[in-house]
Amino acid sequence: MSSDRETTQSVRSWLQDGANVLPDRVRDQVLAELPTTRQRRRHWQAWRTTPMSNLLKVGLAGAAALVVAVVAIGSLPNRPDSVVQPGSTPALTPPASLGPSGSTAEVLDLRTRDDQGCCLEAGIYSPSRIEPAMTFTLGPGWNGVALADDYFMMSHPDGASLYFARDVEPGDGLTALNMGTVEAWLRSVDGLRVETATDVDVGGSPALQFDVVALQPLRYLLMTDEHAHDLPKDQKARFVFFALPQPVGDQAHGLFVIESSMERFEAALAVAQPVVDSVEFRESR
């Protein structure tokens, strides 16, 4: 593999010669610096994120730097095929806004971390991909992590993870969950302790709220068509199981989950429960 100095010298030599096409030798040197990752077919996606290792972060950062360098080289104004009119100012594309556009926007769309880089702005959200149509209010600090038409997941630095899923079923597939069966099923799960059970509502729809603790690792505790929810040992969660205000196809129930370690559960509730309490349902789009 070529060193960084050799690659840099090759690129500089190419620029000085005024060439319009990247030589194979230079291209191969640049591509050799890029790490590759084997792709695998998706099976069940867990409703949680795994922290990225430092080594992977360094590798991705290096790859991104090389790609940016190649793109920047291709757009340098002193190349023969690049013409800049004297006195002209290149038009700049403004960065995508992560929040309201000006003072007129009142409702924000939900984005993932890949879409918007870091943090979700505090405000009122109406996820355009989610059915049933709903709005909710986020305080500061939330990160969007995952989003689909039947679920979303967010995290908060105070230790909270917040999930929404539609049409969940037990991982063992033996019980059809509804308002009449969900409590008995939770109490039957080996290694899961149900601490409280309360009648509540979500956006005016009847709901059942359960605080539970995993006494052992619980794999595939709950599933949707494409996603599975695991509950690690000593993790505590609040399940809010509710009737959808109107069915989505043949699906009639939804679930919010607030999850954190046992030590940080009260702090997690302090930031996540207000989000669930703020949910309002609207007419489907």
Q: Render pLDDT for 166-200 as a digit per residue (tens, 0 to 9).
A: 989 999 888 899 999 999 999 999 999 999 999 99
Q: What per-residue string of b and e applies to 74-89 under the rule 16 or more CB within 10 Å gives b?
A: eeeeeeeeeeeeeeee
Q: How far apart, in whole angstroms, are the C-alpha atoms of residue 10 and residue 69? A: 13
Pairing of strands 227-231, 45-46: parallel
Residue found under tokens 């069966």? 181
Q: What is the pLDDT of residue 116?
A: 65
Q: Output phi, psi for 11, to 5 deg.
A: -65, -45
Q: Which helix (H) or strand (E) holds 42?
A: none
All CATH 3.40.1000.10 domain ranges in the chain, comma separated: 113-281
Q: What is the pLDDT of residue 33?
A: 54
Q: How far apart, in whole angstroms, are the C-alpha atoms of residue 190 and residue 180? A: 20
User: Which CATH number is 113-281's, of 2.40.37.10, 3.40.1000.10, 3.40.50.2300, 3.30.450.20?
Assistant: 3.40.1000.10
CA distances from 253 to 153, 162, 165, 176, 285 (A): 17, 17, 9, 11, 18
> Which segments in the chain show pLDDT lower than 50?
1-4, 11, 14-15, 36-44, 49-76, 78-105
Q: Render pLDDT for 49-72 as a digit per residue (tens, 0 to 9).
A: 433 334 334 444 444 444 444 444
CA 67 to chain centre: 25
Q: How far apart, in whole angstroms, are the C-alpha atoms of residue 231 and residue 215? A: 9
Q: Output phi, psi for 144, to 5 deg.
A: -80, 130
Q: What share of the chain is helix, strand, coil (3-state, %, to 5)?
A: 25, 30, 45
Q: How far apart, in whole angstroms, are the C-alpha atoms of residue 48 and residue 164? A: 12
Q: What is the pLDDT of residue 118?
A: 74
